[in-house]
Amino acid sequence: MWAMIVRRLSVSAISLALLVTLVFFMIHATPGGPAYSILGSHASPQAVAALNRQMGLDRPLPEQYLIWWAHLLEGRLGYSYIQHVEVSHLIGVYLERTLILDLAALGLAIAVAIGVGLLQGYLAERIGGRIIGFFQIVFYAMPVFFTGILLIYAFSMQLDWLPPGGVGHTLAGHARHLVLPVLTLALPIAAGFSRYFGHQAREEYRQDYVRTARARGLCEWRIATHHVLRNAVRPFITLVGMMIPVLFVGGVLTESVFNYPGLGWLLWRSALDQDYPTVSAITLIIGVLTILGNLIADLLNSMLDVRVRYE
């Protein structure tokens, strides 16, 4: 078990190093180099050369690469020439808002997926199971901006129950502002998750141990929660880990529809402004979160797998 954890941690470390390297080359691959994007495409060659020297971009690439690592280890993600601020200062508050939105949506999606998936697995080919399957496809296919605008139209404009966007200033205000974006972001994810988990649950319901459980008089609720769930949940955990970048991409759209100032919104603005240091830093953060998500999913899985635990 411990050998497995060490092995898994080293895989994550290697992935992280590769990610950092990739982002480094991504910055250097910007058309014309960073100086052009700062000074504009009509800048004189002298001005570009001067800026390159000032930023250390005229040094050999390996040296710049080492400096990039040194800065990262100090927690410096770069300097935004558009906003004139250290990217790490910029990102903090946006990252927090995004984590709140994404984790709330993820939690809701997982809860819905497990409930709906167990029901779907139990119903199998019965009419109820088919109806659930139909709505999963519909909700999965609905684009975030469409759902978002529909929800804003219904709950903000017609019913006037919830704000159409932005953030609140009190705790209750925050919560009220989160309801619609969380629903919008969670809906397609819940649809995808529940379809996958429903399939897993259905496979488990076909297993003989379910019949044995029924034959000893257990009720369906107990069979679902104590037997099927336990076995169906492991591949699902892997899927959730893998879906974290997708969740974030959905978050970009959701945050722009609801004008919610999170990391996705910042990514969208920075991309429009060609603020490459900020875009690279956000890419790096998403990458780190993805690697962490997969690591947690794998560790959880091995803890739940009795065969791994007892070896």
* List of residues contacting other proteins (CB under 8 A): 124-126, 207-209, 211-219, 222, 226-227, 230-231, 304-307, 310
* Shortest spacing between CB 110 and other proteins, in angstroms: 19
CA distance 92 to 99: 11
Question: Shortest distance, CB of residue 122 to other proteins, whole angstroms?
Answer: 10
By beta-carbon proximity to other proteins, the closer residue of 160 and 208 is 208
Q: Which is nearer to other proteins, 30 or 231 (CB)?
A: 231
Which CB sits closer to other proteins, 10 or 212?
212
DSSP per-residue string spanning 92-158: HHHHHHHHHHHHHHHHHHHHHHHHHHHHHHHHTTSHHHHHHHHHHHHHHHS-HHHHHHHHIIIIIII
Phi/psi for 148 (5° steps) reads -60, -50
CB of 300 to other proteins, least distance (A): 14
Query: Quick one: 159 or 306, whose CB is closer to other proteins?
Result: 306
Q: CB nearer to other proteins: give 84 or 307.
A: 307
As measured in angstroms, the least distance from the Cβ of 216 to other proteins is 4
Find residue 79's DSSP bridge partners: 86
The residues, any chain, with a CB within 8 Å of residue 4's CB and separated by 6 or more, are 302, 308
Rounded to an integer, what distance in angstroms lies between the CA atom of residue 311 and that of residue 306? 9
Residue 200 CB, nearest approach to other proteins (Å) = 13
- Which tokens in the block code for residue 42? 């009509």
Cα–Cα dist 83/124, whole Å? 55
Those residues with Cβ within 8 angstroms of residue 305's Cβ, 6 or more apart along the chain or in another chain: 234
Please give the angle made by the CA atoms of 127, 133 and 139, to the nearest 5 degrees. 135
Distance CA 181, CA 251 (A): 9
Least CB distance to other proteins at residue 131 (A): 16
Q: Would you say 54 or 212 has its CB closer to other proteins?
A: 212
User: Cβ of residue 306: shortest distance to other proteins, in angstroms?
Assistant: 5
**Shortest approach of other proteins to residue 111 CB, angstroms?**
21
Torsion sign, CA atoms 290, 293, 295, 301: negative
Of the two residues 42 and 307, which places its CB atom closer to other proteins in the complex? 307
CB 163 within 8 A of CB 176: yes
Least distance to other proteins, CB of residue 5, Å: 20
Complex with other proteins: residue 130 or 211, whichever CB lies closer: 211
Q: Which of 256, 274, 287, 264 is nearest to 91 (CA)?
A: 264
Residue 153 or 209: the one with the smaller Cβ distance to other proteins is 209
What is d(CA 238, CA 186) in angstroms, rounded to the nearest whole number? 18
The secondary structure of residue 223, as a DSSP letter, is I
